[in-house]
Amino acid sequence: MTKTALIAGITGQDGYYLSELLLSKGYRVLGLVPPERQSSVVKLGALANQVEIYAVDLTDSEALKEVVEQRHPDEIYNLAAPSFVPDSWNDPLGTLDLVTGTATRLLATVREVGLETRFYQASSSEMFGQVDRSPQDENTPFRPKNPYAAAKLHAHWTMVHHRQRYGLFACSGILYNHESPRRSPSFVTRKVSMAAASIKLGLSEVLEMGNLDAKRDWGYASDHVEAMWRMLQADVPEEYVIGTGKLHTVRELVAAAFDCVGLDWQRYVVVNPKFLRADEHFQLVADPLKAKRQLGWEPQVSFEQLVEKMVLHDLECLQTNLQNC
Ligand code: NAP
């Protein structure tokens, strides 16, 4: 029987890869996009014709309920969030409202409609915040350091409480950074891949960076959405830490990106103190052993392959002047 999945945040990076994955598995895919963000649907490219978009305000409980009652989704994925962490300092309340409010409303809807719908909450490694151990696993204490992380933690616990109190099949993936050619240019990986491509094509000359020693656990978005899906196919709903378990420095990122276009990064990269973030994480890196053991999940794409995918994509975009690069 054809399964139906409902995705909030379908127009984002993960929404794209998750839709692609679910469609390849024969799912009917529905997406919730607020009326004022309909222009984002263009980011789905050709997939937009294969999914059904509902123009629904995520703060409107009745409208959410109507969609769920009408379409009886087997699975709901809550991916909606303003995902660029520094932005959450500019609008802490808006971040909390969207992140926690959407999770709470969707969970309440599933409970009220009384369906067997399985629920996925997009949690974040940012919830670990000020870590005192590396790597982190499902038992690591949460010490969020920014409004985004605090909002994500609230949504995470709301999901846990709904599971414990009402017996919902609700899971969350505590995901580390995952990137792709669909990552917003606000993020360092895409900033670097775009710059390497642009300098190669003679469109720019210099890349200004912050701390080159900062380290991240960077995975590929397509691998990480596979983990989301696997969580909802498990026998028991649980939390899972999802990451590569490997740290790379920004310097390694820059070197790999420029290597893809045959350039020596040291000739083009300058450190600008303006981009130094005061609040760098130290050793925020996943221990994804539980996901490997229980879900059989492992990343398939290496750091070098990920960087290459991004740079080649950006080269093509810039050469062909494509919109939606
Ligand atoms: P993304 O590309 O930024 O996509 C976020 C989605 O949320 C988009 O559909 C976006 O709509 C929507 N959204 C943002 N602000 C909104 C608002 N005010 N009202 C309604 N919708 C709004 O993020 P992603 O990389 O796909 O991440 C998916 C989820 O995983 C997010 O919840 C993120 O916080 C979480 N996460 C991501 C990572 C990562 O490294 N990517 C790591 C851990 C957790 P528009 O397309 O219109 O902007």
Whether residues 185 and 230 fall in one domain: no
Which CATH number do you get for residue 57?
Answer: 3.40.50.720
Give the C-alpha separation, 116 to 118, whole Å.
Answer: 6
Q: Sheet with 4-8: list strands edge to edge.
A: 52-55, 28-33, 4-8, 75-78, 118-124, 169-175, 239-242
Does pLDDT of 90 surpass 80?
A: yes
Most confident of 84-88, 197-201, 274-278: 197-201
Whether residues 127 and 266 fall in one domain: no
Contact 109, 64 (CB under 8 A): yes
Containing domain of residue 263, as a range?
181-217+246-283+301-320
Beta strands in 24-93 (DSSP E): 28-33, 52-55, 75-78
The answer to the question of residue 294 being in a domain is: no
Which among 56, 78, 83, 189 is the best mutation to test ligand 1's pocket, defined by most ligand atoms within 8 Å of the CB? Answer: 83
Whether residues 22 and 33 fall in one domain: yes
Q: pTM, whole model, 2 decimals?
A: 0.97
Whether residues 83 and 49 fall in one domain: yes
pLDDT, tens digit (0-9, with 9 covering 90-100), for 255-297: 999 999 999 999 999 998 877 765 555 689 999 999 999 999 9
The answer to the question of residue 325 being in a domain is: no
Whether residues 133 and 277 fall in one domain: no
Whether residues 72 and 206 fall in one domain: no
pLDDT, tens digit (0-9, with 9 covering 90-100), for 107-116: 999 999 987 9
Provide the 10 A C-beta neighbour count for residue 296: 8
Nearest alpha carbon, ligand 1 atom 38 = 177
Which CATH number do you get for residue 196?
Answer: 3.90.25.10
Q: Is 232 in the pocket of ligand 1 (CB under 6 A)?
A: no
Provide the 10 A C-beta neighbour count for residue 20: 17
The answer to the question of residue 288 being in a domain is: no
Nearest to 99 by CA among 116, 118, 129, 121: 121
Question: Which two structure tokens, joined as six digits, stand for 159?
Answer: 């999901």
DSSP-based three-state secondary structure for 41 = helix
Whether residues 193 and 101 fall in one domain: no
Whether residues 110 and 209 fall in one domain: no
Atom of ligand 1 nearest to the CA of 14: 26
Beta strands in the chain (DSSP E): 4-8, 28-33, 52-55, 75-78, 118-124, 169-175, 178-179, 207-209, 215-216, 219-220, 239-242, 248-249, 269-271
The answer to the question of residue 268 being in a domain is: yes
Atom of ligand 1 nearest to the CA of 221: 41
Q: What is the pLDDT of residue 19?
A: 98
Q: Is 55 in the pocket of ligand 1 (CB under 6 A)?
A: no
Write out the catalytic residue numbers: 124, 126, 148
Question: Which two structure tokens, joined as six digits, stand for 210?
Answer: 């912050």
Q: Is 151 in the pocket of ligand 1 (CB under 6 A)?
A: no
Structural element, H or E, at residue 255:
helix 250-260
The answer to the question of residue 293 being in a domain is: no
Nearest to 286 by CA among 147, 158, 127: 127
Whether residues 174 and 262 fall in one domain: no
Give the count of domains, the chain. Answer: 2
Whether residues 147 and 19 fall in one domain: yes
pLDDT, tens digit (0-9, with 9 covering 90-100), for 37-75: 999 999 999 999 999 999 999 999 999 999 999 999 999
User: Residue 249, class by beta-carbon neighbours within 10 Å (0-12 exposed, 13-18 middle, 19+ buried)?
Assistant: middle
Give the C-alpha separation, 233 to 75, whole Å.
Answer: 10
